[in-house]
Structure 1
Amino acid sequence: MKARFPRFDFSKVRAHWAPSAEFSQRGNAASLIPAHIEPYLLKVMRKAQPLLKQRGASEQLQQDLDIFIKQEMQHCKQHISFNNRIHALGYEALKPLEEKLAADFDNFLNTRSLRFNLAYCEGFESMSATACIYYFEDYLPFLEGADKEPADMWKWHLAEEFEHRSVCFDVFHELSGLDPVSRYFYRVYGYFYALVHLAKFAIAAGKVLTEVDHKNLSPEAIEASKQRDAEVKKVTKSGMPGMMLAILAPWYHPRNRREPNGYSAYLAQFEAERCTTPASRTAAAAA
């Protein structure tokens, strides 16, 4: 694991950045989530940090959590920049939905236990590591001919989600305060809570994006768009049962998940092409 500091330029990104407008808009709806969930994740994990130290958690876990926080900060930064571009392209009606999502996370922090928040975070991280498989394997046909900036943003983000896939799981297990059986069922509860909560948001955001896109289309064009969206949905749903069953298994540990095809090679190439070094960041700050 390492913190990476990539450079992106979203100033010319199109809303339909892949050949399939419907695939693009599903990605755009999903991109709204990191801008709000990542700050929440960071706040939860910063609450966990001193507790891990008090409990004498392994140095490796504490170091991994530090890197996790740095990675998530970059995810948040880049998705905010990308989302601002999407808003500017005529999709500002998304903002009330985003405000509601941010309020939900504030409510979790202020009214729910650390155990709940850790379980929610682990549930989200389970979904994110699953999404990595899609972008490196199942979604490859949809990414052919896609604009490089958003495609790279998604692949980098999800590759790092896979890279740090065990961190929230290990933190939850360290701090849940539950016996193994209760801990398992609470983890599953957190997974389903996060899944339903975020799915509702993504569906609502997708509806807003689609309404804007369909506003001036003919009935025939709208029907064709619905058919293309069904193709994307079919690919997404085809891999979901197996991934969910793996996550729900009592013996599940994210460390044992299969590495997506091309994941390691992509990260190495991405780092060489897009990431600044600590020395270059220091020089830029001094200038």
Structure 2
Amino acid sequence: MHARFPKFDFTRVRAHWARDPEFAQKCNAASLIPAYVEPYLLKVMKIAQSKIDPGKTQLLEDLDVFCKQEMQHCKHHLAFNKVLRDQGYPGLKAFEDKLRTDYEHFLKTRSLRFNLAYCEGFESMSASGCEAWFEDYNDLLDGADPVVADLWRWHLAEEFEHRSVCSDVYHELSGLHPVSRYFYRIYGYFYALVHLGKFIGAVSAYLHERDREGMTPEELQASIDRQKAIKKITTRRILPMMLKILSPFYDPAKRREPLGHREYLAEFEERRQALTA
């Protein structure tokens, strides 16, 4: 696990960067989240860092890399989201403002334990996203803009790399008996799942509504049919994922590596180094 500092050029990226616009817009809706959840994660982990026993050197080193990776994720999704907003989706700003306000509220009014559990829940979902991007979406990414595909694959590959950090910090600082710690972890997971699920649903609905303005009945039906087909692909891992995460024996460090994830990161770094050579 280490921090990477890639450069992306989004100037030529279009909102419909994938063959199926409905898939692109689902991912575009999800892209709003890292721009605001990552700064929130950094603030929570900064508080946690000051409370961790200095003797826990490995955890503190992992936390340092985690924060560096998340800073880069935030930076690049902010840049991507601005390009998207400027292509005829000004209503995205209201969604972004709401999400920012939610996280400010969590930090001001909720306990460190809650915030740690929420972070752990979010990271559990992100690591599962890596599996989908490397194993389920290959057909959907056929012919897609490689810049956007790289953004997501790099991001989620790093999410898988640091999948244990928030869990380790939560277990270190929750202050709960193991049984209570388990149930509170599940509470944090479901809170994050529902909170972000509603958010993505609302943003996706807005993006689809904008895209469908002026469509003929035939075009509209074709768009709806594609959306339904994509939903089947993008949601089929949810139940198996949940069953793993809900287990009292769940350990993110023991998760199966997504196929091609490690090789992709090596190839990604080689390409980036060649560009700067």
- Give the shorter-chain TM-score range: over 0.9
Q: Quick one: which amino acid aligns to residue 171 of structure 1?
A: V
Q: 1:164 maps to which residue?
A: 162
Q: 1:8 maps to which residue?
A: 8
Which whole-Å CA distance do the structure 2 matches of 1:19 and 1:75 have between them?
Answer: 24
Q: 1:113 maps to which residue?
A: 111
The runs of 5 or more residues in structure 2 that have no matched partner are none
Which whole-Å CA distance do the structure 1 matches of 2:191 and 2:204 have between them?
Answer: 20
Which whole-Å CA distance do the structure 1 matches of 2:27 and 2:142 have between them?
Answer: 15
Deviation of the 1:274 alpha carbon: 2.2
Root-mean-square deviation (CA, aligned residues, Å) is 1.2
Q: 1:224 maps to which residue?
A: 222
The runs of 5 or more residues in structure 1 that have no matched partner are 281-287
Q: 1:126 is matched with which residue: 118, 124, 127?
A: 124
| Paired residues for 1:1-287 under 5 Å | 1-52=1-52, 55-56=53-54, 58-274=56-272
Give a deviation string over 1:20-53, Cα, whole Å, max 9, x none.
100000000000000010000000000011101x
Deviation of the 1:57 alpha carbon: 5.1
| Greater Cα offset, 14-23 or 55-64 | 55-64
Deviation of the 1:92 alpha carbon: 1.1
* CA spacing shift, 1:276–1:254, aligned 2, 3 Å: farther
Which whole-Å CA distance do the structure 2 matches of 1:198 and 1:93 have between them?
Answer: 18
> What is the DSSP-based 3-state SS (H/G/I as helix, E as strand, rest coil) of the residue aligned with 1:141?
coil
Give a deviation string over 1:193-224, Cα, whole Å, max 9, x none.
00000011101100110011000111111111
Q: Quick one: which amino acid aligns to residue 214 of structure 1?
A: R
Which whole-Å CA distance do the structure 1 matches of 2:224 and 2:139 have between them?
Answer: 18
Identity of aligned residues (%): 60
Deviation of the 1:237 alpha carbon: 2.0
Give a deviation string over 1:110-166, Cα, whole Å, max 9, x none.
000000000000000000000000000011110111001100000000000000000
Q: Quick one: which amino acid aligns to residue 241 of structure 1?
A: L
**TM-score, structure 1 length as denominator?**
0.94
**TM-score, structure 2 length as denominator?**
0.98
Deviation of the 1:229 alpha carbon: 0.8
